Amino acid sequence: MNESEFSPQSTEPAGKPEAELDRRRFLQRCLPLPLTVLTLIEVGQPGDGKGAESKPAEVPGYKAADHNYAMGVDPASCIGCGRCAEACKTENNVPREPFYFRTWIERYVIQTDGTTVVTSPDGGINGFPPTRESGVLRTFFAPKLCNHCASPPCVQVCPVGATFTTQDGVVLVDQSYCIGCRYCIQACPYGARFLHPVTHTAEKCTFCYHRIVKGLVPACVEVCPTQARIFGDLKQRSSPLSRFMRQHEIQVLKPHLNTEPKVYYANLDGEVR
Ligand code: SF4
Ligand code: SF4
């Protein structure tokens, strides 16, 4: 089963006033042009400082280059309660509709006939109904989110430099630069992005960047009752994440794509992609 069938993300925008021929729509109409032409009419590229006003505010004393953030996930600990998805929606004002998620949970049901059934009703935010008793070999849950890839295709395809990687290894979207072209949504092999129905810009997990630069963990990590999510700094050997990675056999999703994901799964079942 292809996970795109159950990915909760939607890319359909809500209506926008027809008369509004703003910069965003103008650029969208230009997209069939070669990217070199588009670059000439656009206003900036990553690192040129032009988007600095909409990048996360600097926190006194915080040195981004000293960190490289990532997340660990332990599917064996996840009970599919959905608290992480709910906390994420609240923390980040994610639209309440059940098809917009920055993080979601999938349930894998391995059946005795060898088939695997994958479901994620409403992103798992309300938990999961019981599985039928017979014919089930085992079940487990796999929380998913943006992998904050070290080699992110979403960044590579963005024609206006709105998607970028921070010095501390977090992939973000500069909302003031995003033109809503959806290139990044299509390029992400993990279904981690969606188009916000109101702002018409690309959205996804930020690792709760506004929290982590203050020394807090992402909201999903904070509320998880079983510590199935572990957040940390790869540059600190003593961080909970570094310990987690030393203590488990680690896999990433779709390693053959060479995106270098930074969400690390412990003892991941081969059925999860
Ligand atoms: Fe980009 Fe998708 Fe990787 Fe996140 S998971 S960094 S959105 S390619
Ligand atoms: Fe799994 Fe923790 Fe999320 Fe509950 S809060 S679904 S246990 S990761």
The tens digit of pLDDT for each residue in 68-92 reads 999 999 999 999 999 999 999 999 9
Ligand 2 mean position to 217 CA, how many Å?
Answer: 15
219 CB under 6 A from ligand 1? no
Out of 11-15, 57-61, 226-230, the most confident range is 226-230
Report how many helices (DSSP H) and strands (DSSP E) the chain contains, helices first. Answer: 8, 11
Domains located in the chain, CATH noted: 1-40 (no CATH), 65-273 (3.30.70.20)
Q: Say yes or no to pLDDT of 247 above 70.
A: yes
Q: pTM for this one? A: 0.82
- As a whole-number percent, the residues of the chain with pLDDT over 70 amount to 79
Question: Would you say the CB of residue 167 lies under 6 angstroms from ligand 2?
Answer: no
pLDDT band at 273 (very low <50, low <70, confident <90, very high): confident
Question: How do 171-173 and 194-195 pair as beta strands?
Answer: unpaired
221 lines ligand 2 (CB under 6 A): no
Residue 91 φ/ψ region, left for φ over 0, alpha for ψ in the -120 to 50 degree band, beta for the rest? alpha
Rounded-to-integer distance, Cα 115 and Cα 34, Å: 45
Ligand 2 centroid, distance to 270 Cα (angstroms): 20
- Determine if ligand 1 sits within 6 Å of the CB of residue 102: no
Nearest atom (ligand 2) to Cα of 229: 8
Nearest ligand to the CA of 155 is: 1
